[in-house]
A and B are shown apart, each in its own frame.
Chain A
């Protein structure tokens, strides 16, 4: 089903909030796709990194329901290649923080199998908790 895109000034607050949280001017993105082409995790994502930027640019709050920002590994490949000099890692972080600051964690220690917890080096657990909790 092809969706209709509604562009209005209603959600400019959302764009402004993400701009502020990330410190980046998201309207600078010209949708070249370099970020998506550089992303190691893109095949696991539901939308591409450039699509994520697009949705934020257009104030589409539905981006908060997508998974891409949670699959991001913060590897900064996009950041070092963006021809507009944008730091996409910061934008993904800002989007995550919008959810996380509502006290909705993206990780539940109880759901991780015990043998995995025993196996994982603490650096993995610590970094995962830092990234996915508020």
Chain B
């Protein structure tokens, strides 16, 4: 091993406080170090060339750079090593600027000693670095889009046009979703069916899209690049290629059931056309409604079908295929207004939902009204939304605008109508929305600010009396209406729940599926390769849905386009000779990346038949699993058990008798960054702290904590990001579990558990970081170092104590 160490002056930033010459001479004395140099600016062209030349000339195989934070110039120096032909992963940086010179600018002597200490730790770690290469995994060009509403349609078209193979699965017999039920869309009043139909036709015409309607996703197994899908396609009993939609069959069908497309306002037969713009455009036989197919009870439809399109001898099909990415676009359901019993939906004949009204307007405008509307019509806003009494706190976003639309459509088609909208707020936030609201006001729709408290029905006339406060004039209104329309909110639907369970997708507090990050990853999920599009992620209107669907296809394309995707080599691995196949780790991995499989045929026969294996496509490199292995068989590349122990030993090596030292395990994403920010702000904190970088706080196993105490740590601090921002599932609960195991043992040994602390940070909590570290440091100073006897015992029989 030939380690090269470089100490940077950083143009005075480091050298004005830390005595560089002392660090150089310290490094020269370390075993395996063959070359130590210093330089005013290591990251400059000159500095980098120095490293490259030295690597070639002196045959260096590992590099330590004592300079700024690895989060600052780490990538620069990693590519320097690559240019010199070395693996970028045999580089370690000692952070002697943000985490040494800058916070300790008042104590140059101590800062120099700490710089030596940190350099020592970097050297200790680099000794055990593996020359890993950059990793990529292969990925194909196949996508599953679940849900054939406008979101699914848009995503499928974008991906199909881009040349990817798309499977579009829709549970209804036709695609189109809720949008196909709408009359006109706000704010332009486009006819919904007219703008949707061409897109639906495009789906059918696109050679890259395989459309599976009347089908449901039954099972999803696998991972990014290898999702194994099982779809159940239900039989329609009608061949879409032969059906001419002549309607002869419905005339003879004896069964009458409510028509779901029309929200139950009209009826249909058991054999029916799912919607006027159905794609595939074919009749469908509803098996549940039909009098019986096996055995055949009626069969009249088949008798009259001229083209011979009806065939009863068909069965549900199981279709299996593999895809590389998945887009979930399963949409929404409207709020079940029967839950708001005070409005009498389901009991009072003249109380309807907005979706009912959409259908009524479509039919009325075609000259076929399906039920009377009356002259006095009231819209009640926020039904099922913003309402703790039905436990839905969220706003459903589109109701203000759709009520503005429906109310003015009604008023314009019959100016003798008296139309009211009873609202709490009028949310007209989007493009053209405020103008559209003004148009409604100009048309004569009356907007009254008050949330309707109750509806009372006159049992003779069936008219509704509505009781509400006009909050703007502080008067109570008790007024009778012919028709009351409930502006129902949007809720997650049953299909979404099912798919979420299959894919283990997280839900937001409002029940919709959760995006990976609310600002920067609005269509990703925390599951790699699975994206969200449309109302499945939360209520939104059509423009936003289409935008999101295109965004999801762009994100999927980004992953698939190169044919491979990058992975960090920070991954778990198994010391197979130590693994006894107990399987305790399998259930603990939050991403299900561990499984037990049989050992190779030519393995040592004395070892267990089964051994743990890591699926690198699923492993996120959090290190949570390591704590659960009683045999120390699990480990993590780039942050191995041996490496962390070596670092711990190194930062405690120069501790003198009577001195105390506090170890801070800082998670890469937040706490380490925060510590850097503290340094940049030149805020001081205790000199006896030593920061060790970890990918996540969950990497710090109970064993490591006990070993740290045993080696000389007097206080241990674990810093982690907040749960909701964490890229690692369950990191916080893992940390808490690890800490409680250690606390238990500390208590047994009579050691104050306050020596071990855990705080969740955000990167701007500068004062919080300083206060917490100082607090622990002061505590250890006051309590004194841990007595040698107790310390020794903490290091003994660790696995027995932890796993008894």
Contacts and interface: CB of A to CB of B under 8 A. Distances in A.
Interface in B451-468: 451-454, 467-468
Contact of A50 (B386, B389, B467, B469): B469
Contact of A33 (B342, B388, B451): B451
A33 B389 contact: no
A82 interface: yes
A31 interface: yes
Interface in A13-52: 30-38, 42-43, 47-48, 50-51
A38 B469 CA distance: 9
Given A32-B471, A33-B471, A84 B388 contact: yes
A37 B388 contact: no
A37 B452 contact: yes
B162 to A, nearest CB: 45
Max count, chain A CB within 10 A of own CB: residue among B389, B449, B471: B471
Contacts of B451: 32-34, 37, 83
B375 to A, nearest CB: 23
B476 interface: yes
Nearest to A83: B387
Interface in B365-415: 382, 386-389
A81 interface: yes
A85 B388 contact: yes
Interface in B396-454: 424-425, 449-454
Nearest to B475: A48
A43 B450 CA distance: 17
A73 to B, nearest CB: 16
A132 to B, nearest CB: 25
Nearest to A78: B453
A48 B454 contact: no
Interface residues of A, number: 21
Contacts of B389: 80-83, 85
Interface residues of B, number: 21
Contacts of A83: 382, 386-389, 424, 451
A34 B453 contact: yes
B484 to A, nearest CB: 14
Contacts of A32: 382, 424, 450-451, 471
B474 interface: yes
A37 B386 contact: no
B345 to A, nearest CB: 16
Contacts of B468: 33, 37
B469 A33 contact: yes
A82 B388 contact: yes
Nearest to A51: B474
A90 to B, nearest CB: 15
Contact of B471 (A31, A42, A84): A31
A129 to B, nearest CB: 30
Contacts of A47: 474
Contacts of A48: 469, 474, 476
B353 to A, nearest CB: 19
A30 B385 CA distance: 14
A42 B469 CA distance: 10
Contacts of A37: 450-454, 467-469, 476
Interface in A32-77: 32-38, 42-43, 47-48, 50-51
Nearest to B390: A83
Max count, chain B CB within 10 A of own CB: residue among A31, A37, A81: A37
B477 to A, nearest CB: 8
A30 B454 contact: no
A38 B388 contact: no
Contact of A81 (B342, B424, B449): B342
A42 B388 contact: no
A36 B454 CA distance: 11
B589 to A, nearest CB: 39
A39 to B, nearest CB: 8
A48 to B, nearest CB: 5
A31 B471 CA distance: 7
Contacts of A43: 476
Nearest to B450: A33
B403 to A, nearest CB: 16
A51 to B, nearest CB: 5
Contacts of A31: 471
Contact of B453 (A30, A51, A81): A81
A25 to B, nearest CB: 13
Interface string B336-350: 000000100000000
Contacts of B388: 82-85
Contacts of B454: 37-38
16 contacts: A30-B424, A32-B450, A32-B471, A33-B424, A33-B469, A33-B471, A34-B451, A34-B452, A35-B453, A37-B450, A47-B474, A50-B469, A82-B389, A83-B424, A83-B451, A85-B389
**6 A-B pairs with least C-beta separation:** A37-B453, A33-B469, A36-B469, A85-B388, A32-B451, A38-B453
Given A32-B471, A83-B386, 7 more contacts: A30-B425, A33-B450, A35-B453, A36-B469, A36-B471, A38-B454, A81-B453
